Structure 1
Amino acid sequence: MAWKPSEISDQSGRTFVITGANGGIGEQTTKVLASKGATVIMACRNTAKAQPIADAIDGDVRVAALDLASLASVREFADSTGEFDVLINNAGIMNVPFSRTADGFETQWGVNHLGHYALTGLLLDKLRDRVVTLASVAHKQTPKLWIDDLNYENRRYQRNLAYAQAKLSNLMFARELQHRLEAAGSGKRSYGVHPGVSATDLFTQTETPIDKISKPFVRLIGHSPAHAAYSSLFAATDPAADPNTYWGPTRWFGSQGPVEASPSTKLSQNRDLQRRLWEESERLTGVTYKF
């Protein structure tokens, strides 16, 4: 029988931090966890948008400012956050025009990966249980990881490849973090998951005419944001979930279906590249993990 949120045990006394929880999959994840008695901190760039959403959810739901495009904001959020149980690295942007973050990083890679790398490292000593990082089936859409030019200094920007590289980086980060936690003898765990394909606002950020038609099309091949949240919820709450498995739907090329062990590319499993990505992320952000 396929896993469903009804299987989640009572989460009273546990606190979850969810990035980008002011819509889509993050909002749905928040609703379910709050309904199970958890305290949920919605870490969002747009707090004005997030607050009405939080107010409409029954339970202990709080809003905090976090802009993953600014390392200063990441540090400020981390400094103001107390101990908690689970971090869900959910926020993301997709296929946006070329720009750079406040710290000069290519925006898709900077927000989706570097912001979460820095956030996780700065919160690790306050974390009691696990980290869940959302990757994507799009990680399969890049032929390589440009480890010597991750920040688009010396190559032409291609928004789809930039997104694929960012999501590949999410998955490789989740795996490398798990390797390092295990090596340190830590009881904390790191999960890489993907939500499948769902008609969220991710599909309205390209600033092209395709924004008007993408969500209706995606509804035909994907599943609802509520269903897409299952992967995050499973990895965040199930005591028996294997952190060395990439969890997500597998039907229709990974676009929908129940949470299962999902295939990933050989590239994403390359241990040398995982380590080199970690080292570059550490160098660029200045965040060193303490295990």
Structure 2
Amino acid sequence: MTTWTAGDIVDQQGRTFVVTGANSGLGAEATKALVKAGAKVIMACRDVDKGRAVAAPLGERAEVRRLDLADLASIREFAGSIDSFDVLVNNAGVMAVPLYRTADGFEMQIGTNHLGHFALTGLLLDKISDRVVTMSSAMHNIGSIDLDDLNWERRPYKRWPAYGQSKLANLLFTYELQRRLAAAGSKVKALASHPGYAATNLQTHTESVTGRIMALATPVIAQSAEMGTLPMLYAATVPDAVGGSYLGPSSLFETRGYPKVVKSSRKSHDEAVAQQLWSLSEQLTNVNYSFGT
């Protein structure tokens, strides 16, 4: 695994992927690699014009559809347009933005990064044949789940703890999804990944001094988006990747390098919190998972 690259992706002909946030950054790079490997990719994009610009040189196996993860109505509309497919890649996200709210009143980071993908996965689960891959972050280590104020309605809002909460939620969701799939006897598996410190436009959208500093530092110290997408691609395509695994870069404290299985925080493995977050997420999104029952 230490030198695995996109060139090692096994033949993906006949397989279909749904990739959220495919109009830029890691999602765009993943789309390019998957199409090159023979897959069809449904690019789920909030900005369809940017998505079409990415898709244009890739040919007919890259298809752009609109999806706004900050709007449950958009998620339901998108999910209703999808037929059966193989792999869902929950890649889209926002990072450390000011206090904004989604169309449904959720804090933007937990609403987009976790609740939007939770709803999308639940609505699509019975159409998925292989696996669900969800993008987390090393910043999950600073996160804590506040089940009494998940949407920052009573606490003073802090953008980085809010981001950490959303990325911790991604891991709690992935591990709980894997447990529930296994308990139901499903062949579908759930995995998570993180990109390390990769050069994408995510750092430039924080609308903060930190964001401006990161924008200056990223070209100097970050690894390329192509390298940053490798853990996600490994999780999405390697046939014997194990359900419940977490993939990240192998070098420099997981900031860069080739993909490997990595560890996540003790909080991410708290099954009681995971179950409570799951129940709360179902209540907030009004999306209930059936697992074939």
1:125 partner amino acid: D
* Superposition pairs of residues 200-279 of structure 1, within 5 angstroms: 200-279=200-279
Instruction: Give the conservation status (yes or no) of the 8 Å contact 1:106–1:152.
Output: yes
How far off is 1:57 after superposition?
2.2
Matched residues, number: 290
- Which residue of the partner structure matches residue 99 of structure 1? 100
The question of whether the paired residues in 1 share the 8 Å contact of 2:189 and 2:244 is answered with: no
CA-CA distance at 1:59 after TM superposition: 5.3
Matched with 1:2 is: 3
Identity score, percent: 49
Q: Tell me which amino acid in the other structure corresponds to 1:196.
A: G
Question: What SS class does the counterpart of residue 173 from structure 2 fall into?
Answer: helix
Say if 1:71 and 1:115, in contact at 8 Å, map to a contact too. yes
Instruction: Give the 3-state SS of the residue equivalent to 1:91 in structure 2.
Output: coil
Look up the equivalent residue of 1:285 and give its one-letter code: T
Show CA shifts across 1:189-232 (max 9, x none): 00011111112111111223444441331233331100011011
Residue 110 of structure 1 is matched in structure 2 by: 111
In the alignment, which residue of structure 1 is the partner of 2:56?
55
- Provide the residue aligned with 1:82 in structure 2: 83
Whether 1:44 aligns to 2:73 is no
Asked if the contact 1:171–1:192 (Cα under 8 Å) also holds between the matched residues in 2, the reply is yes
Tell me, yes or no, if the aligned pair for 1:221 and 1:255 is still in contact at 8 Å.
no
Between stretches 144-153 and 23-32, larger displacement belongs to 144-153
Instruction: Write out per-residue CA displacement over residues 62-118 of structure 1, whole angstroms, 9 at most, x where no aligned residue.
Output: 000000000000000000111110000000000111011000000010000000000
Cα distance change of structure 1 residues 263 and 222 upon mapping to structure 2, 3 Å threshold: farther
Letter of the aligned partner of 1:185 in structure 2? G
Contact 2:21 2:27 in 1 (8 A): yes
Code of the residue aligned with 2:46 in structure 1: it is R
Letter in 1 for 2:166: A
* 1:161 alignment counterpart: 161
How far did 1:153 drift?
1.6
Instruction: Using the TM superposition, give the Cα deviation of residue 43 of structure 1 relative to its aligned residue in structure 2, in angstroms.
Output: 0.1
Match of 2:160, SS?
Answer: helix
Structure 1 unaligned residues grouped into runs of 5+: none
Segment of structure 1 superposing worse, 32-41 or 237-246? 237-246
Shift of residue 7, structure 1, vs aligned partner? 1.6
The answer for the alignment partner of 1:282 in structure 2 is: 282
Q: Deviations over 1:9-37 (max 9, x none)?
A: 11111000000001110000000000011
Aligned with 2:17: secondary structure?
A: strand
Query: Which residue does 1:131 correspond to in 2?
Result: 132
Scaled by the length of structure 1, the TM-score of the pair is 0.97
